[in-house]
Amino acid sequence: MIAFAGFTGNAQEKKNKNAKYDIEVNGSCEQCKKRIEKAAYSVSGVKSAAWGIEDHSLHLILNEEKTTVEEVKKAVAKVGHDTDEIKASNEDYNKLHSCCQYERKQ
């Protein structure tokens, strides 16, 4: 019985404390950059967040023991920015300043 318990403990996936991810986030300007990065940092476990205006990519370093990429995507969508998997609600998107309203993909 003890040997079996040891086996299952080792079989669990180990979480990375410095996992790196790049996710697509739509935006258009410096205001968007600040808003997107602030939303990412609002998620506990995010260590680094940098969004590129040119490539629309949010470069993340996060502690997988504290959060997931999906949680970051939800936070970014909540401030009006679509990600590759989670779209902002129309209500949140419409709150963006007119210069920040990007062309949305269907």
pLDDT digits (tens, 9 = 90+) for 58-105: 999 999 999 999 999 999 999 999 999 999 999 999 999 999 999 997
Q: What is the pLDDT of residue 15?
A: 86
Contacts (Cβ under 8 Å, ≥6 apart) of 8: none
Which tokens in the block code for residue 102? 């990007």
Residue of higher predicted confidence among 62 and 11 = 62
In order of start, what are the domains of the chain with their CATH numbers?
16-100 (3.30.70.100)
- pLDDT tens digits for range 16-52: 999 999 999 999 999 999 999 999 999 999 999 999 9
Calpha distance 82→22 (Å, rounded): 14
- Among residues 92, 106, 83, 99, the alpha carbon closest in space to that of 32 is found at 99
For residue 73, give Cα distances in angstroms to 13, 41, 43: 22, 11, 10
Calpha distance 68→61 (Å, rounded): 11
Confidence of residue 14 (pLDDT cuts 50, 70, 90): confident
Spacing of C-alpha 23 from chain mean position:
7
